[in-house]
Amino acid sequence: MSEHAHARGQLPARHAALVLADGSVFEGELIGADLPATGFASGEVVFNTVMSGYQEVITDPSYAGQIVTFTYPHIGNYGTNELDRESARPFCRGVIVREMARRPSNHRSESSLDQMLYRFGICGIAGVDTRRLTRILRDTGAMPGAFGTASEAELLAAARAEPGTDGIDLVASVSTDQRYTVAAARDARQRRIVAFDFGIKSTMLRQLSALGTLEVVPAATTAAAVLELAPDGVFLSNGPGDPAMVGYAVDTIRELLGQVPIFGICLGHQLLCRALGGETFKLPFGHHGGNHPVRHEATGRVEITSQNHNFCVDPASLQGVVDVTHRNLNDNTNEGIRVIDAPAFGVQYHPEAGPGPHDSRYLFGAFAELMDAH
């Protein structure tokens, strides 16, 4: 079956159901790729509140192991294109939407969202009451689920057998296998930056290349191998899953602290804090969206931020080691730290935000200043 023939609207509806681990059932119809031979797809179900950027969300490696629910009711209206992908392929387990646009309309569109999902082997379910689903996840927390054409009993069993993202190293499944170079942008200074790929996004690479040449390295790269590259700075990327399960990266970061300036985003921020002796914990339903208010503690300025994480740093475990620089105004959780005795800082949210608010882009300039000062 060709991608063109698979375009939604040219095939009869494939009725399916979504079942959560608590027994909640939702009806819908399949979209995207064909189901596995089991007749279902399973994963940890989370919700994202963005109104645009669905392609970037789906191709963000941080969603490995998860099924993404879009709370905005109409998804796919402007299609997809090659430039807006955040990684070579999606790593999420599936997509849940209220309504999939049948005719994408945008001058940049190269294919429909349904065609993109089919191309990369990602299945999904549309026609779901995503408002009811989101309320359940909000009240009870992210939970495993399964969707497909299998019986409700089989879907419930699959949902309850799904381990979720706790206690699993998902970084190993998304990181690059070998080092590669990203050339500096035309007007960039001659800095050399080593970027750890824990699930790095293309938008991050574009922002960092404006600061200098990037050497992107696998997640398991040692501190000695990094220092051999004589970097002006080290960047710790976003990524999926439980930071407590990426101990090899924590050990490496601990060795690098104090030797080279470090900047961490999202999972990179969490790993930096764990390298300092901090603790992390899982949020009830995580932060997934493009409009989270974050206060910059030094200035009182409120930034509107893009976020995608399930785990969070406990700042009380780092008293006397870091200064808290940013705080989430929705739930008062930690959103940023600066290390007191080393040139290193991190933020929990996404200042690159492609697409999304640009309020926090100044942090890349702060990283450049930190590198130049050391």
The β-bridge relationship of strands 233-236 and 262-265 is parallel
Active site residue 352: yes
Q: Token digits for 358?
A: 């640009």
What is the Cα–Cα distance from 76 to 340, expressed in whole angstroms?
A: 45
What is the Cα–Cα distance from 206 to 363, expressed in whole angstroms?
A: 14
Active site residue 15: no
What is the Cα–Cα distance from 119 to 43, expressed in whole angstroms?
A: 20
244 close to 212: Cβ distance less than 8 angstroms: no
3-class SS of residue 236: strand
165 close to 242: Cβ distance less than 8 angstroms: yes
Q: What are phi and psi of 73, to 5 degrees?
A: -75, -20
19 close to 156: Cβ distance less than 8 angstroms: yes
Catalytic option among 92, 123, 266, 312: 266
Which uninterrupted H or E stretch holds 234?
strand 233-236
Which amino acid appears at position 16 of this protein? A
Which uninterrupted H or E stretch holds 274?
helix 267-275
N-to-C CA span, the chain? 57
Active site residue 326: no
Annotate 305-373 with DSSP letters as a single string: EEEEEEEEEEGGGGTTTEEEEEEETTT--EEEEEESSSSEEEESSBSS-SSS--TTTHHHHHHHHHHHH
What is the Cα–Cα distance from 90 to 62, expressed in whole angstroms?
A: 10
* Active site residue ranges: 266, 350, 352
